[in-house]
């Protein structure tokens, strides 16, 4: 397996695969953060999470087209506008869905899974009807193309670095919102004890709606970031949903820190294995390892001790 490579080659391979893993890590973290809020904090299994992500991707694609036609001078920075629009679009749809669907099902978590699966089918078909079945890709502004030559043998793509920086920023914002803002305290209070939170005057319904919206909005940003490294199709969300759930479960459902740690270990394992094995075998081995670990340690890596 290592025979044909010299030590410095191996180092470069490890560094570049490690970086490819970091990009995968960023996508996982962005998707899993939203899901960790919705699933870990609220206990809702949102199978349509991937479709919220794709909505963000399509919004980004539309923004890029619109900016190119209407205001080409804005093009280098269109991505930031697109991200905000994606957050708003996915968040608004999320709040609508919470109002119409999810709030009736808080006591039946398994049923949220089935209902949101139905929702994801509808959204997929809607994307297919509106945007067509073909995958679309956005045009990157010039400053994002190309790569940074770290050493002779190590090249690092700039769009990947941008996605990573974005991930770090979003993660910090989410942590701030949930752990330091007063609204975040309300969210955690509702999660821990809905009845008591209501009794002390927190409007639990409103908190639920905004929490769900926030989770979906972050998925929208994830989709926006996703367009920079891959193309988008109506069913692309489905490819990621199981991975994302595994990331959240593996990390320990209620722990945001666990989510990030598990996203890191899963993406690094997968991208390193991918170099030595075929892509499918790398994925199989990674997933099998996660499932095996979850069978031994069902509560995930970082479990909060909560009395039931």
Residues of the shown chain interacting with another protein in the complex, contacts defined by CB under 8 A: 43, 45, 101, 104-105, 108-111, 113-115, 117-122, 124-126, 129, 238, 242, 245-246, 249, 278-281, 283-284, 287-288, 290-291, 294-296, 298
Chain center to CA of 154: 27
Distance in Å, CB of 182 to another protein, minimum: 30
CB of 254 to another protein, least distance (A): 12
| Comparison of 81 and 113: residue with beta carbon closer to another protein | 113
The least CB distance from residue 238 to another protein, in Å, is 7
Tell me whether residue 40 or residue 160 sits nearer to another protein (CB atom).
Answer: 40
**What values do phi and psi take at 136, rounded to 5?**
-115, 150
Q: How far is the CB of 198 from another protein (least distance, A)?
A: 23
Rounded to a whole number of angstroms, the minimum distance from the CB of residue 157 to another protein is 26
- How would you write the chain as a 3-class SS string? CCCCCCHHHHHHHHHHHHHHHHHHHHHHHHHHHHHHHHHHHCCCCCCCHHHHHHHHHHHHHHHHHHHHHHCHHHHHHHHHHHHHHHHHHHHHHHHHHHHHCHHHCCCCHHHHHHHHHHHHHHHHHHHHHHHCCCCECCCCCHHHCCEEECCCCCEEEHHHHHHHHHHHHHHHHHHHHHHCCHHHHHHHHHHHCHHHHHHCCCCHHHHHHHHHHHHHHHHHHHHHHHCCCCCECCCHHHHHHHHHHHHHHHHCCCCHHHHHHHHHHHHHHHHHHHHHCCHHHHHHHHHHHHHHHHHHCCCCCCCCCCCC
Q: Distance between CA atoms of 162 and 50, rounded to whole angstroms?
A: 22
CA-wise closest residue to 92 among 84, 43, 240? 84
Query: Least distance in Å: CB of 133 to another protein?
Result: 11
Which residue lies nearer to another protein by CB, 154 or 294? 294
Nearer to another protein, 70 or 296 (CB): 296
Q: Which is nearer to another protein, 165 or 288 (CB)?
A: 288
Looking at the Cβ atoms of 69 and 307, the one nearer to another protein is 307
How far is Cα 125 from Cα 39, in angstroms, rounded to an integer? 25
Q: How far is the CB of 104 from another protein (least distance, A)?
A: 6
Closer to another protein by CB, 77 or 132: give it. 132
Shortest Å distance, C-beta 119 to another protein = 6
Q: Which lies closer to another protein via its Cβ, residue 82 or residue 248?
A: 248
């Amino acid at each position: 397996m290592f025979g044909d490579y010299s030590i410095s080659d191996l180092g470069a391979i490890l560094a570049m695969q490690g970086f490819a893993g970091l990009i995968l890590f960023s996508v996982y973290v962005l998707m899993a953060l939203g899901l960790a809020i919705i699933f870990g904090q609220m206990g809702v299994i949102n199978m349509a999470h991937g479709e919220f992500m794709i909505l963000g991707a399509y919004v980004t694609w539309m923004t890029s087209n619109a900016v190119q036609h209407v205001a080409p001078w804005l093009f280098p920075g269109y991505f930031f506008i697109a991200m905000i629009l994606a957050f708003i679009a996915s968040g608004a749809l999320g709040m609508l869905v919470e109002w119409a669907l999810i709030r009736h099902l808080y006591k039946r978590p398994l049923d949220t899974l089935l209902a949101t699966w139905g929702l994801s089918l509808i959204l997929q078909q809607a994307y297919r009807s509106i945007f067509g079945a073909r995958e679309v890709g956005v045009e990157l502004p010039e400053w994002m193309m190309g790569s940074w030559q770290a050493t002779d043998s190590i090249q690092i793509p700039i769009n990947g670095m941008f996605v990573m920086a974005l991930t770090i920023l979003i993660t910090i914002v989410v942590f701030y919102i949930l752990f330091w803002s007063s609204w975040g305290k309300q969210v955690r209070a509702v999660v821990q004890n809905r009845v008591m939170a209501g009794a002390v005057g927190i409007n639990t319904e409103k908190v639920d709606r905004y929490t769900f919206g926030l989770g979906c909005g972050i998925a929208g940003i994830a989709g926006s970031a996703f367009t920079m490294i891959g193309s988008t199709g109506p069913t692309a969300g489905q490819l990621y949903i199981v991975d994302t759930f595994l990331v959240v479960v593996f990390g320990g459902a209620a722990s945001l820190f666990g989510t990030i740690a598990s996203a890191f270990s899963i993406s690094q394992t997968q991208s390193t294995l991918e170099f030595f094995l075929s892509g499918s075998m790398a994925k199989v081995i990674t997933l099998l390892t996660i499932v095996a670990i979850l069978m031994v340690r069902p509560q995930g890596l970082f479990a909060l001790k909560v009395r039931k």
